[in-house]
Amino acid sequence: MKAVGYFRQPAGQRGGNSLSRQNRGFLDYCESQGYEVAATFSEDSESEAAPAFAQLVEYLKRPEKGFVVVVAQAPAVLADDTNTAAARYLQIESLGGRVQFTSRDGDALSAVLEAWSAGQAASVGSKVRSAMHRKAVRGEVLGRPPYGYRVGARNRLDLVSEEAVVIRYIFRLYLQEGLGIRLIARRLNEEGLRTRRDRPWSMVSIRDILRNRAYLGTYQRLGVRVPGTHPALVSPDDFRKVQDRLGERRTNYSPRTVTRFLLSGLATCSHCGNRMIGVSRRQSWRRRRDGSERTASYRYYQCGSRTNQGICSYHTRRADDLDGEVRRQLAGLGPQHLSATGNDAAVQEEWDAEARHLRERLRQIDRRIGKTMEDGANSRISREKLRTQGLALAGDRLKVEEDLRGAEWRLENYTSAAERRRGRNSALERLAEHWDALPFPEKQGLLREVVDRIIVSDDSVQLVLKP
């Protein structure tokens, strides 16, 4: 089995935990376990860009690496902040590596949970959470009230009559009329009903409402459930039936392999202007001629409004066909097609806003990782669910980190229109000459350097280039 070592000096441990000592411990550990040393990555905690961990991530992305064990001395070596350390552990595991710590035997996840819990207990934030926990026990509202309610007297939930009617309508459509989540969203949108933010209803918003125990009159926050704190909008029997049906639908789906789509975030529907999403389907059938079973997988882009909100129409494009058409059009472009005019300051401000947005996305993901770790540490969710949720969040974090690096690189290197033009010309050349050989993340990044969006209709594809 191959092993990869990761070394970093945690803050405040300069003397007895040197990088060379960690390296020696790694080699001894590999010898005792019979591991083959494949690579080592070493960095100092004062390095702001954390280049060694980024290099480790790139190494783990290589398909030829095979199965590897990533060995570190302890969770604190991954990062000084326990939440970041947990995120990095999950990122390594999400990329197919298995983490082992030389400072203790057994499950690495248990070590990460223990370190996370100890870090949270020692932080000032834990005092804030304790105060919030006391409010939750009293049934006082924390955060934004759910749709159908507002914050009323004694900081408890009160009904919003026009919204309460919609909540009862959603439960009736699902339970009595037998509509699915997508069809409910479509029905509400067709009837002109809007969310509290005056947006169309989506599958996610409907699903969250159907699962929310607040509509039983039970206030739930921070692991605390306080029944009877506010007026209920659904009976316990109906709520249970809804959860049973939701559970049945989840278990009826077979596991799907997550696939990446090259034009995600770029392809837009020409009819409604919203983004198209990548969809994978596996279909089986029996041949009439000989009765043999046949199976095929299909990948295509589909209008996200149709999928999530039930609006727009069924507009789709096979993924290979759309990717190929974009490649063909890019091959016909030359430097004369890539304009980089416009106000430099305005462009820089747009990129700076993009970087700020991505940093906020990272903070949101880290908060969700922290909540998942908290639920796991307090046994509110199983280890299996913790791992499933954590790995999904880790994958999101890797993608946002990659986008942020690209945004920060553009801010630093493309300060003028001429520089932007040179960068896009270079990206276009690489796409034209090395399309088949480019790794997926690099190809997608180059596309986003050149293309602002791709407008997809039923019979045409239009590339809108970066300004």
In tens, the pLDDT along 144-164 reads 889 999 988 878 889 999 999
CB atoms within 10 A of CB 429: 12
Q: Which of 76-80, 205-209, 406-410 has the lowest mean pLDDT?
A: 406-410
Which sign does the torsion angle of CA 281, 286, 287, 293 carry?
Answer: positive
| Degrees, nearest 5: CA angle 51-89-385 | 150
- Strands 98-101 and 68-72 come out as parallel
pLDDT at residue number 253? 41
What confidence tier does 418 reach under pLDDT thresholds 50, 70, 90? Answer: low
Rounded to an integer, the average pLDDT of 291-304 is 84
More confident residue, 291 or 325: 325
What confidence tier does 304 reach under pLDDT thresholds 50, 70, 90? Answer: confident
On average, the pLDDT of the chain sits at 83
- Kindly list the distances between the CA atom of residue 170 and the CA atoms of 20, 238, 312, 343, 363, in Å, as whole numbers in the listed order: 62, 12, 21, 49, 33
Cα separation, 18 vs 139, whole angstroms: 50
More confident residue, 347 or 115: 115
pLDDT at residue number 465? 86
Query: By three-state DSSP, how is residue 182 classified?
Result: helix
- 129-251 folds as Hect, E3 ligase catalytic domain fold (3.90.1750)
- Which strands form 36-44's sheet, in the order they lie side by side? 36-44, 2-9, 68-72, 98-101
Matching residue, tokens 């559970």:
247
Rounded to an integer, the average pLDDT of 225-240 is 89
Q: Which two tokens stand for residue 331?
A: 């091959």
Cα separation, 11 vs 251, whole angstroms: 46
pLDDT tens per residue, range 163-198: 999 999 999 999 999 999 989 999 999 999 999 989
- Strands 68-72 and 2-9 come out as parallel
- 2-122 folds as Rossmann fold (3.40.50)
What confidence tier does 45 reach under pLDDT thresholds 50, 70, 90? Answer: very low
More confident residue, 118 or 267: 267
Which H/E stretch holds residue 351?
helix 344-377
Q: Where are the alpha helices (DSSP H) in 122-235?
A: 124-137, 161-175, 181-190, 203-211
SS3 content of the chain, % helix, strand, coil (to 5): 55, 15, 30
Rounded to an integer, the average pLDDT of 298-327 is 83
Domain ranges of the chain: 2-122, 129-251, 335-434
Rounded to an integer, the average pLDDT of 70-83 is 91
- Facing residues of 268 across strands? 275, 455
For residue 49, pLDDT over 50 is answered with: no
More confident residue, 210 or 18: 210
Q: What percent of the chain has pLDDT over 70?
A: 85
pLDDT at residue number 277? 85
For residue 448, pLDDT over 60 is answered with: yes
Cα separation, 136 vs 220, whole angstroms: 7
Query: By three-state DSSP, how is residue 413 classified?
Result: helix
pLDDT at residue number 257? 44
What HEC string does 17-78 produce? CCHHHHHHHHHHHHHHHCCEEEEEEEEECCCCCCHHHHHHHHHHHCHHHCCEEEEECCHHHH
Contact between 314 and 304 under an 8 Å Cβ cutoff? The reply is no
pTM over 0.85: no
pLDDT at residue number 265? 84
78-395-212-132 Cα dihedral, nearest 10 degrees: 20
pLDDT at residue number 254? 41
- 133: which residues sit within 8 A by CB, 6+ positions away? 222, 224
Domain 2-122 matches domain 129-251 at the CATH topology level? no
Query: By three-state DSSP, how is residue 375 classified?
Result: helix
- Strands 316-318 and 293-303 come out as antiparallel
